[in-house]
Structure 1
Amino acid sequence: MTDFLIRSTFCLFVLLGAYHLFLEREKMHHFNRFYLLFSLIFSLTIPFITIEIIQEIPKSNIEIDSIEAGTFVVEEVTNYLPTLLWSLYGLVTFLFTVKFIKNIIKFISKIKSNATINYKNAKLILLKEKTLPHTFLNTIFINENDYQNRNIEEELYTHELTHVTQKHTLDILFIEILKTIFWFNPIFHFYKKAIQLNHEFLADEKVIKSYNNVPFYQNLLLSKATVNHTFYLASNLNYLITKKRLIMMTKTTKPSIALLKKLAVTPIIIALFFMLCLKTVAQEKITIEKPENNTYTKKKGAEKVSGPEKPHSLPKISKSPIAINKYEEEKTNELGKDSEATKITEITKQPEFPGGMAEFYKFVGKNFKFPKEAIDNNLEGKIFIKFMIEKDGNLTDFQILSDLGFGTREEIIRVLSLSPKWLPGEENNKPVRVQYSLPISLAAKS
């Protein structure tokens, strides 16, 4: 969820910034309307789109003795903070939803309780109270006395009819629904402001084209601006009678400039898509092979010795592990070449976690923290890890044989590094180093 909010908000800010920089001051309002709505949909959709680019890294072939799959599900410690936050979010969202529905009901009530007159492709709702013309869906609300006394200019009817025919209310309802869901994100407030101002540009443009009298229309709007009534969910006649709106009435934009401005935002959209959707995944193919004919090989000096296969020590599996005693490296000549003597033998006592493997599972389950990406993707699978249990019981030499990604490699190593000392393995009552191959199954739930 956090990843979705970060990505979508970043995208919303960038696209709104591009709108104010390149498009808002140009007279191409139909394109701007499409751009603002597209920006909202694109930004809320893009976090769900992921295109993976597989980048292969050198393959490694690991020959190990047979490994039996164990089951080890790490359970997360219950955290009540997310529950509290979601409860708070649900409560506030419910209150905003109630407000949204109440305002729609208020418009429906006005329509039902007042006189209605068909006017072209709209309906005029005659209200008793003093009000400026405003539009909701295909209804225009006006004052009854002004209508009967013909105090409403034709330009105002044309202005409101433009809101009806171009269905501007649907845009406002859409952004209000988003504001209700994402009430904690102020960016949607700025989008609504930009959308409503662009609606007024469109309505003003229609009036100018129909009557071709800019000074009269500007003075008409300024005379109505003294009545400071705004209506939630409606298109308002006097919405933002600002310098921007008055200047836009006299502005012209050359087709070539308009085309360049439109093209200017295209690379931004493409860059956002590649930045937020493409993901490079490093994939290492690991081949785990069993020695043929149920034998194992070891190298001692220059000769190879074969013998019966010895299984690795695993929790919950009562098989003898293999103890690997590695003696310290010593210099054998003046060139500094090292040699290592290796001895493989059956141990007489297996290493053991204090309290047994059940306690080991509890330890890992308590300390393992799923990386956020693993939780978001409901990660499930196995990690194969090899480590050395030293003579003093410490764990060293961690090797990941098979990985699930999303940071689980680093996390399992971190947890095992915190492990208490084990009871070391023994050979003839003497502590020895023992190597463990441990398959661990992980299951993350969002």
Structure 2
Amino acid sequence: MHRFNRFYLLFSLLFSFIIPFITIEIAVEFLSKPLVSQSVPAPALIQPQNHAIAVNDATSPESEMNYIPILLSGLYVLVTLFLIIRFGKNIYNLILKAKKGRTIVFNCSTLVLSKEEKLPYTFLKYIFINEDDFNSHNIQEELYTHELTHVKQKHTYDVLFIETLKTLFWFNPILFFYKKAIQLNHEFLADENVVKSYNNVPSYQNLLLEKASWNSNFYLASNLNFSVTKKRLIMMTKTTSKSRALLKKIAVLPVLTGLIFISCIENSAIAKENKTEKGVNWNDAIAYNPQNMQSLNAAQKREATYFAGVRFIIYKYGIQTKKKVEGKDILFDKVYEDLTAEDKENLKPWISMIQEGYVKKSPTQNELEGFKNAKSYAIWIDGVNVKNSELNKFKPSDIAHFSGSVILKNARTKKHPQPFQYWFYTHDYFDKNEMGKAPEKYAGDKMEIFKKVIKKTA
């Protein structure tokens, strides 16, 4: 059981790093509303006229920087750096003691004779003992056997592993309990070997109690006096049947399986093909009998005409590149005519984005001056990206319409790092392109929606 516990403790730590990369997808028959509500529309879906904002630099998202993440990151770096230095220094000191001290090859280990008045302790293959006690043969055989077990079973590597994790993830208190559990299990293993070798439990227990007042300050080393508790003394006389031990080990499997399933499960929505309980919906009527368009109200007709033939695609995530967002893992893909009533309800935030005709509006003189700030605004005039200084050529009355939107950090580019983008249209361009007239069709053959967007780093 002690050997199994050692494996379990180490394996569970390693497995905790693997779990975040495991995904168990469960297919469901419908597109859940939370998926849509958390989705992020592709940049192409942003309609400028629906995202006009007030021109006021004081309200810019960039004007108030949140310093808390920076302070927390700085604190983490400082504490981690200090712990790494301390960790490295302690390893160096132990290795230096081993190199400088008088050494004697002993069984599969190396005895390092030291002037320190401490109990024997082990680091890697080195067993550090007091030189006077060694010369006077004042070290019991049980102590040698105990420390040799630490060397043979390579317990130091377990301690170095958990100590490395503690150094990097010092903010996680569970690791402190893990180290204590690992080192206590090491002592169980060493005690077990001593008891088997000498078959005199009372004598060994008395020896432990006799040495209990001794102290060791090396937290990277294994030593006889680590956590001499009532539990450790009782463990020497405790026996577990093979069947009971096997049941305990097997019991870990369903618990581990359940935790993996709960931690890694992720719903993957698929389109629901069967009809709604209420019968054939009006979308099906359109798909199979265009004459039924007459039974629709004006809004439904407008929607059906506007999105006719348009594909609605929902991706699990999108990767933001310099040019566009590339969708990955399709969760939903239907042509408008195939959408059920439930689909339309889930896609309502996007279907409702029917572009209407633009209304003429001109900026004020103060607003126009504000847009000349090249650090805050990227500017387009009549569909062409221009320098902000080009606005000097225009009076407010020269602009027939203007609109803009906020650009999220992960969508900004090297060419356009500004947090805002604005479009300006002159009267000639506005009239020539009939911008005041609502378009009859959606501009494009598909609408792409992303559950989340990841910025490509390279």
TM-score after normalising by structure 2? 0.58
2:358 counterpart letter in structure 1: Q
Structure 1 counterpart of 2:213: 226
1:154 aligns with 2:141: yes
1:158 counterpart letter in structure 2: T
Structure 2 counterpart of 1:260: 247
Structure 1 counterpart of 2:177: 190
Distance (Å, rounded) in 1 between the aligned partners of 2:31 and 2:449: 25
Structure 2 counterpart of 1:390: none
- Number of aligned pairs? 304
Deviation string, structure 1 residues 57-106 (Cα, Å, up to 9, x no partner) = 289xxxxxxxx993869998564432332222111111110110000000
Aligned pairs for 1:67-216 within 5 A:
70=44, 79-216=66-203
1:48 aligns with 2:21: yes
Share of identical aligned residues, percent?
52
The answer to whether the 8 Å contact 2:358/2:437 transfers is: no
Deviation at 1:230, TM superposition (A): 3.6
1:34 aligns with 2:7: yes
Deviation string, structure 1 residues 3-38 (Cα, Å, up to 9, x no partner) = xxxxxxxxxxxxxxxxxxxxxxxxx10111111111
1:239 counterpart letter in structure 2: F
My pick for the range that moved more, 49-58 or 209-218, is 49-58
Distance (Å, rounded) in 2 between the aligned partners of 1:163 and 1:178: 21
1:70 counterpart letter in structure 2: A
The answer to whether the 8 Å contact 1:70/1:441 transfers is: no
Deviation at 1:361, TM superposition (A): 3.9
Distance (Å, rounded) in 2 between the aligned partners of 1:276 and 1:352: 53
Match of 1:350 among 358, 370, 378: 358
Evaluate the alpha carbon distance shift between residue 195 and residue 58 of structure 1 in structure 2; reply closer, same or farther with a 3 A threshold: closer
Secondary structure of the residue aligned to 1:123 is strand
Secondary structure of the residue aligned to 1:241 is coil
Deviation at 1:278, TM superposition (A): 1.7
The answer to whether the 8 Å contact 2:111/2:126 transfers is: yes
Evaluate the alpha carbon distance shift between residue 87 and residue 285 of structure 1 in structure 2; reply closer, same or farther with a 3 A threshold: farther
Secondary structure of the residue aligned to 1:95 is helix
Distance (Å, rounded) in 1 between the aligned partners of 2:44 and 2:31: 28
Secondary structure of the residue aligned to 1:350 is coil
The answer to whether the 8 Å contact 1:129/1:143 transfers is: yes
Evaluate the alpha carbon distance shift between residue 96 and residue 436 of structure 1 in structure 2; reply closer, same or farther with a 3 A threshold: farther
The answer to whether the 8 Å contact 2:306/2:441 transfers is: no
Deviation at 1:234, TM superposition (A): 0.4
Distance (Å, rounded) in 1 between the aligned partners of 2:109 and 2:75: 42
The answer to whether the 8 Å contact 1:72/1:440 transfers is: no
Distance (Å, rounded) in 2 between the aligned partners of 1:241 and 1:204: 11
Distance (Å, rounded) in 1 between the aligned partners of 2:206 and 2:186: 20
Secondary structure of the residue aligned to 1:250 is coil
Evaluate the alpha carbon distance shift between residue 115 and residue 301 of structure 1 in structure 2; reply closer, same or farther with a 3 A threshold: closer
2:231 counterpart letter in structure 1: K
Deviation at 1:52, TM superposition (A): 1.7
Distance (Å, rounded) in 1 between the aligned partners of 2:26 and 2:220: 44
Distance (Å, rounded) in 1 between the aligned partners of 2:22 and 2:455: 21
Gaps of 5+ in 1: 1-27, 60-67, 303-309, 313-345, 370-374, 379-424
Aligned pairs for 1:288-299 within 5 A:
299=293
Secondary structure of the residue aligned to 1:54 is strand
Distance (Å, rounded) in 2 between the aligned partners of 1:96 and 1:353: 61
User: Which structure dedicates a bigger proportion of its chain to strand?
Assistant: 1
Evaluate the alpha carbon distance shift between residue 361 and residue 124 of structure 1 in structure 2; reply closer, same or farther with a 3 A threshold: farther
Structure 2 counterpart of 1:57: 30
Deviation at 1:112, TM superposition (A): 1.4
2:407 counterpart letter in structure 1: G
Distance (Å, rounded) in 2 between the aligned partners of 1:129 and 1:58: 70
Deviation at 1:165, TM superposition (A): 0.2
Deviation at 1:53, TM superposition (A): 2.2
1:269 aligns with 2:256: yes
Deviation string, structure 1 residues 342-373 (Cα, Å, up to 9, x no partner) = xxxx99x63468859977543x437xx9xxxx
The answer to whether the 8 Å contact 2:113/2:129 transfers is: yes
Evaluate the alpha carbon distance shift between residue 361 and residue 115 of structure 1 in structure 2; reply closer, same or farther with a 3 A threshold: farther
Evaluate the alpha carbon distance shift between residue 72 and residue 353 of structure 1 in structure 2; reply closer, same or farther with a 3 A threshold: farther
The answer to whether the 8 Å contact 2:118/2:215 transfers is: no
Secondary structure of the residue aligned to 1:233 is coil
The answer to whether the 8 Å contact 1:351/1:434 transfers is: no
1:365 aligns with 2:415: no
Secondary structure of the residue aligned to 1:227 is coil
Structure 1 counterpart of 2:340: none
The answer to whether the 8 Å contact 1:72/1:361 transfers is: no
The answer to whether the 8 Å contact 1:72/1:441 transfers is: no
Evaluate the alpha carbon distance shift between residue 142 and residue 284 of structure 1 in structure 2; reply closer, same or farther with a 3 A threshold: same
1:246 aligns with 2:233: yes
